[in-house]
Amino acid sequence: MSVLLLDGEQRSTLAATRALGKARIKVTVGGENIPCLASSSRFCHRTFKYTSPLESPPAFLRDLRKELSDEDYELIIPMTDVTTILISENRDIVPDHCKIPLPERKAVNKAMDKGEVCALAASKNIPIPKTYVIQKKTDLEMVAKTAKFPVVVKPRFSRSWTGKGWISGATSYVHEPAELVNLYDGWPHDLPFPLLQERIHGPGCGVFLLIVDGVTKAIFFHKRLREKPPSGGVSVLRESIAPEPDLQMYAQQILEALGWKGVAMVEFKIDLRDGRPRLMEINPRFWGSLQLAIDSGVNFPLLLYRSQMGMDIDPVSQYRIGVKSRWFIGDLDSLMTLCVKTKRRLNLPASSKSRLRTILDFFFISPLVSKNEVLRVEDVKPGIFEIKQYVRDLLGEVEKRLKRKGTDDNGLPKGALHIHTTYSHDGEMSAEEVALFFQEKGYSFVLLTEHSQDLNPQKVSELKDQCRSYSKANFNMIPGIEFACQQDLHILGIGVAELTKSVDPVEVVGHIHKNGGVAVWAHPLKHGKPLPLGLVKQLDGVEIWNLGNEGRFFPHIAALRLYLRLQKESPKLKCFVGIDFHRPKYFYPVHLRLNNKKNSISEILLALKSGAFTIQSSLFRIGSVPRIGIAFYILMLTVSCLLNFLRTIKRTIIG
């Protein structure tokens, strides 16, 4: 007994591998990347690497033909739309003794075409969302007059072959009629124009079926609790529910009309306006939440195998209700998206769950009531593989975004604070090298802060001369000093190029102000002692984010807590970010963005002193005197916990 499962990167393939492997069926996992998620399972007997069907369908088919001729398989199961299409259209490469659990090519193509599915459903009186089929540009006028916006833009195929490559069809939203015209004009002419549908608000439900010779041999119902993206997509938390007669009737009617055989998932949404289901689409293959059905007692992969082998199988319609399955990595991704984007940007209705409720549910409720889909004690390697891959991809993407050259925000000047050159003992770049480096990164000004203990009057004079020589019309290098004070306090004197013999922090701040500078408490988390009396009210600001000490991606939650305490004593205290730059290896494009386009040295210092700037990075933005409410605080606490979690995983698993 031997089965070839394609698309080893998919979670559905992992679920099928486990289900068949536990039944002592030898499973070969095929994939374009080996090792992959499913091949990491202890229930995988053998692996097969092939050319990506997305990049080169002909090469994929050649690889598959050779594998099928070299090995003796009883059954081949494609697990994605692309491989399902290719196997359906090229059945001649599969030996006669190897079963293909798919209906005729015409039925597969029709099930994948959302336009055909909607038309067929309408002909059978199966309720669907109000749908507009656009044949020509003038049809948009009717949509503009009658549709309620936002309108859902749903490509007819999830994957479309253009002759040059596959195009992914992702659902999107149009918020006003003018966008429809732009969409029509920019749509590829060799692809059918997408469906336009009314948006249905309500929970998503799925009906999973196995049909053999026109008879439903297995059926299962589930409800989506959370999705990725949050507005609708892949389910990341779902629950088995009791059979719904209407859903069952509609699902069986549509599949019967297609002449279906094998497995399929029919998706519905329950319209909150009237409580009735609306048919959304058909997945003519195994689905992402397959593991939930197996956990609930409906082993679709094994039932499919037995049906294809000609074995008698008793119909299965009884299963455990209330079982919850959670794809943790997808849920984590969805949570992070909710944390950094507004409901409007995510096309979420105002009635959707708040961030706070979602965060609490993610950490304290979902782990207690759901089973982890991928990470299983009896088969732990796929879970470790997925976490390692996710951490690598996520941190790689963050690194890429942070190292990307920044773009001007409406031409407003951006600057770098807390920068050291070779005038400091730990700086590795000369003033000239620093000036060129930050100009290449798109910065408008650089605020040097050389260590006071490394300076003398002659060096200070040289530093001022070099700053003047490297400043230009569109770039300013501004000298400054990081004063080492008593109690291991460090105060940044921004724009100050005069030394003082005093190491008393209060006197140092007075010296900074006397010379027209801005006084900022540097890396405050390194200082664990109470501040001298009266110092807080004299300071202009505090580094709530020091990249050299407190992380690269977000401010440390402890620094935010400290700022909240200090702000009670000095309400006008400003927030600053310091790169604490010593060498290019540790550069990240965090910056201070001024609120106006004036870029002279005096105007820059005035903006910093008055708080006319924001702290910005590729992932974060905050005002100079932010109102940090409970929601923002919880958001930052969540992000901090997630990043610490990922760093811990990276250290313990990846190394």
Kindly state the average pLDDT of the residues 525-551: 85
Closest CA to 356 of 640, 646, 561, 632: 632
Kindly state the average pLDDT of the residues 487-512: 95
My answer on whether omega of the bond before 101 falls inside 30° of 0, hence cis, is no
Structure tokens at 632: 């923002």
- Cβ atoms within 10 A of the Cβ of 612, count? 16
| Domain end marker among 146, 170, 198 | 198
Q: Please check whether residues 651 and 611 belong to one and the same domain.
A: no
| Domain end marker among 80, 100, 120 | 100
Enclosing domain of residue 160: 130-198
Is pLDDT of 447 > 70? yes
* H/E run at residue 88: helix 81-89
Given pLDDT bands bounded at 50, 70 and 90, which one contains residue 585?
confident
Q: Please check whether residues 554 and 426 belong to one and the same domain.
A: yes
Q: Please check whether residues 444 and 515 belong to one and the same domain.
A: yes
Which amino acid, residue 299?
A: N
Q: Is residue 414 part of a domain?
A: yes
Query: Which pLDDT does position 401 carry in this prediction?
Result: 60
Which amino acid, residue 590?
A: V
| Dihedral sign, Cα of residue 581, residue 468, residue 575, residue 615 | negative
- Return d(Cα 302, Cα 305) in angstroms, integer: 5
Query: Which pLDDT does position 133 carry in this prediction?
Result: 87
Structure tokens at 417: 């604070």
CATH number at residue 435: 3.20.20.140
Q: Is residue 118 part of a domain?
A: no
- Return d(Cα 513, Cα 520) in angstroms, integer: 11
CATH number at residue 257: 3.30.470.20
My answer on whether omega of the bond before 315 falls inside 30° of 0, hence cis, is no
The residues near 606 (Cβ < 8 Å, ≥ 6 apart) are 612
Q: Is residue 125 part of a domain?
A: no
Given pLDDT bands bounded at 50, 70 and 90, which one contains residue 223?
very high
Axis crossing angle, helix 57-70 with helix 81-89, rounded to the nearest 10:
70
Query: Which pLDDT does position 493 carry in this prediction?
Result: 97
Which one is predicted more confidently, 356 or 547?
A: 547
Could you please report the per-residue DSSP string of 207-233? EEEEEETTEEEEEEEEEEEEEESTTSS
Specify the number of domains making up the chain: 5
The residues near 21 (Cβ < 8 Å, ≥ 6 apart) are 27, 41, 42, 43, 44, 45
Q: Please check whether residues 347 and 383 belong to one and the same domain.
A: no
Kindly state the average pLDDT of the residues 120-142: 90
Spell out where 229-271 has E strands: 234-240, 262-270
Q: Please check whether residues 160 and 301 belong to one and the same domain.
A: no
Contact call for residues 382 and 14 (beta carbons, < 8 A): yes
Q: Is residue 557 part of a domain?
A: yes
Q: Please check whether residues 188 and 224 belong to one and the same domain.
A: no
Q: Is residue 107 part of a domain?
A: no
Contact call for residues 47 and 34 (beta carbons, < 8 A): yes
Which amino acid, residue 612?
A: A
Q: Please check whether residues 221 and 353 belong to one and the same domain.
A: yes
Q: Is residue 117 part of a domain?
A: no
Query: Which pLDDT does position 341 carry in this prediction?
Result: 75
**C-alpha dihedral (352, 357, 358, 360), degrees to nearest 10:** -170
Q: Please check whether residues 386 and 452 belong to one and the same domain.
A: no
Instruction: Quick: pLDDT tens for 375-388.
Output: 999 999 999 999 88
Structure tokens at 329: 């990595």
Closest CA to 335 of 354, 321, 319, 307: 354
Is pLDDT of 105 > 60? yes
Q: Is residue 293 part of a domain?
A: yes
**C-alpha dihedral (73, 32, 169, 159), degrees to nearest 10:** -40
Given pLDDT bands bounded at 50, 70 and 90, which one contains residue 408?
very low
Instruction: Quick: pLDDT tens for 48-57.
Output: 999 999 999 9
Query: Which pLDDT does position 512 carry in this prediction?
Result: 97
- Cβ atoms within 10 A of the Cβ of 40, count? 24
- Return d(Cα 506, Cα 491) in angstroms, integer: 10
Kindly state the average pLDDT of the residues 45-50: 97
The mean pLDDT value of the chain amounts to: 89
Residues in the chain: 655
Q: Please check whether residues 149 and 278 belong to one and the same domain.
A: no
Instruction: Quick: pLDDT tens for 162-203.
Output: 777 888 777 888 888 888 888 888 787 777 888 999 999 999
Spell out where 231-313 has E strands: 234-240, 262-270, 277-283
| Domain end marker among 198, 225, 246 | 198
* H/E run at residue 158: none
Query: Which pLDDT does position 638 carry in this prediction?
Result: 65
Strand order in the sheet with 518-521: 450-451, 480-484, 490-494, 518-521, 541-546, 574-578
- Return d(Cα 489, Cα 389) in angstroms, integer: 42
Q: Please check whether residues 34 and 76 belong to one and the same domain.
A: yes
Query: Which pLDDT does position 160 carry in this prediction?
Result: 80
Q: Tell me the backbone φ, ψ of residue 77, rounded to 5 degrees.
A: -125, 110
- Return d(Cα 506, Cα 441) in angstroms, integer: 36
What pTM was estimated for this model as a whole?
0.70
Closest CA to 78 of 29, 128, 24: 29
Given pLDDT bands bounded at 50, 70 and 90, which one contains residue 44?
very high
Is pLDDT of 407 > 50? no
Closest CA to 299 of 411, 217, 212: 217
Q: Please check whether residues 181 and 225 belong to one and the same domain.
A: no
Kindly state the average pLDDT of the residues 382-398: 82
Opening angle at CA 384, ends 326 and 5, nearest 5: 75
Burial of residue 404 (CB within 10 Å: 0-12, 13-18, 19+) is exposed
Helices and strands (DSSP H and E) totals, the chain: 22, 29
Query: Which pLDDT does position 633 carry in this prediction?
Result: 62
Instruction: Quick: pLDDT tens for 230-243.
Output: 877 899 999 999 99
- Return d(Cα 254, Cα 251) in angstroms, integer: 5
Q: Is residue 35 part of a domain?
A: yes
Q: Please check whether residues 157 and 182 belong to one and the same domain.
A: yes
